[in-house]
Chains A and B, each alone.
Chain A
């Protein structure tokens, strides 16, 4: 008698149209736990952590937003290798508004978010027709180019950058703003991807010509997705500018492009929650390894490789599967 592993759905997958049939506290808990617990846990973690680790969590939230932004773009068929463009644009807009015009963080944050999204969208508008690796190459080059432009023309403080910017407030205030921002981005975008609007974006990724033949101007919708994604990235940049009270060329550095992609690779793409989870694994991990000195990057890389080889689908997909399904040995009749 042969045996095979069988996967069985756990819990309540039974749906009547769009309403879950909730009949017991246990089922409601089953649904709510994975959505509510992380929110509570992260809040408690941040409020009780030391100042150093609270700051790490703040920057983790911002990397998570960049990773979510990457996943949104990818869902609409745009592969970005240049999240640093969004990050840097938001950072410089917030920095210059604060430094030259003296606007406070509560004004510069929304202005940089919208302005950064708009500028990035306009800059990338001409290459929206490019797909796959061609679009990716352009996004990779742009932030590196802007970095050199700032260096060469010495605008906005040149290589020195702008320092002494207005801080956001106490550590706790910073942390709470970061936390709210990242949860709004995650749940907002997740909801959006579930609507027909989100379906349309996924359709563009799957088959843009088929979407076009439905009378839909795909470039208009790609531009909208690009605006939303880059605005989120720009917010992260603007936020970090005020958190560090400094903005300079490093905001366009490759780190801000690579880290989100590594997070997606570790966390698992397509769910938005995966990339966020990936950031919350990688960024604190990189801080933990700081004590190791020179070998830090090596160990970090080994962990990254082990993660992507061991769980190519991503940690989030793996956990989600374990949560919604259980496995058992079933006997197979010949």
Chain B
């Protein structure tokens, strides 16, 4: 982790009807940092991801990437800059075989030149990526239609699709949700490897125990507002966080 700021949110706000989904949220993401975003259901975590990646336009506030204002950019331009996101609700291409899913991501203008125009090459890169996230190479799984893959594989596929873009920043929206302990444990080294490669990660998570093992810092959202920020151990001692996120002692 360095002191260089790579992504910055300044007073981001977005409301849907009368509900303020995200309310004046500001934070900075440093290069090669793992920042966790936690908060109870409906606290605005996914909306925050959508705001950062251009899927939703903010009512107020700015998003800066390497000092450049990218507020309101369409999603494909944000992705081309090097901010890749995964979806909490997995979005595979159901009709395609697992590895062909990655061919679509590898067709992105960001990496198209790198993997060469040859049909076979892209297939090979796709299979390498799948192996990296834990698909068994040369097994039936990579040729299986995505529609028939179990949830654990679909989550890995989401991560692989992000990695295919060779991004600077990965925004992972509840990557661990719905996975077994063993599956999460097998994904943690993949994440650690990304960090070792110098990537920056923003991880939205509900699985606190696993997140705290990886995250350098966390921010806590509640009702769209940022209520705490800091190192995981410190933040969880914050009485406001305890009250809002984990329930108060009295309720315990």
Q: Which residues of A contact B (CB under 8 A)?
A: 17-18, 195-197, 199-200, 202-203, 206-207, 209-218
The reply to whether B104 and A199 contact each other, CB–CB distance below 8 Å, is: yes
- Among B93, B101, B106, max chain A CB count under 10 A is at B93
A214 to B108, CA, bound (A): 6
Distance (Å) between the CB of A317 and the closest chain B CB?
14
* Chain A to chain B contacts (Cβ below 8 Å), 16 pairs: A17-B120, A196-B119, A196-B122, A203-B93, A203-B104, A209-B91, A210-B92, A210-B104, A212-B55, A212-B76, A213-B53, A213-B76, A213-B91, A214-B107, A214-B164, A214-B165
Q: Are A215 and B87 in contact (CB under 8 A)?
A: no
Q: Which residues of A contact B164 (CB under 8 A)?
A: 214
Are A213 and B93 touching (Cβ within 8 A)? Answer: no
Chain B interface residues toward A at CB < 8 A: 53, 55, 74-77, 79-80, 84-85, 87, 91-96, 100-101, 103-110, 119-120, 122-123, 161, 164-165
Q: Which residues of A contact B91 (CB under 8 A)?
A: 207, 209-210, 213
Closest to A201 in B: B104
A218 to B76, CA, bound (A): 8
* With A196-B107, A213-B84, A215-B108 as contacts: A203 and B79 at CB distance below 8 Å: no
Whole-angstrom distance between the Cβ of A215 and the nearest chain B Cβ? 3
Known pairs A211-B104, A214-B79; A203 contacts B96 (CB<8 A): yes
- 10 closest A-B pairs by CB: A215-B79, A210-B91, A215-B80, A215-B108, A206-B93, A203-B104, A214-B105, A212-B75, A214-B108, A207-B91
Partner of A200, one of B75, B87, B107: B107
Give every chain B residue within 8 A of A199 (Cβ-Cβ).
93, 96, 100, 103-104, 107
A199 to B146, CA, bound (A): 14
Contacts of A206 in B (CB 8 A): 92-96
Query: Which residues on B sit within 8 Å (CB–CB) of A197?
Result: 107
Cβ of A213 and Cβ of B85 under 8 Å apart? yes
Complex interface: chain A residues within 8 A of B104 (CB): 196, 199-200, 203, 210-211, 214, 216
Within the assembled complex, what's the spacing in Å between the Cα atoms of A200 and B105?
9
Q: How far is the CA of A249 from the CA of B74 in the complex (A)?
A: 41
Interchain CA distance A213-B161 in the complex, whole Å: 9
Which of B76, B96, B100 is most buried by chain A, counting CB atoms within 10 A of its CB? Answer: B76
Q: Given A199-B107, A202-B96, A207-B91, are A215 and B76 also a contact pair (CB < 8 Å)? A: yes
Known: A196-B107, A212-B79. A207 touches B119 (CB 8 A): no
B123 to chain A, nearest CB (A): 8
Q: A195-B119, A196-B103 are in contact. Are A216 and B108 (CB under 8 A)?
A: yes
- List chain A residues, Cβ under 8 A from B74: 212, 217
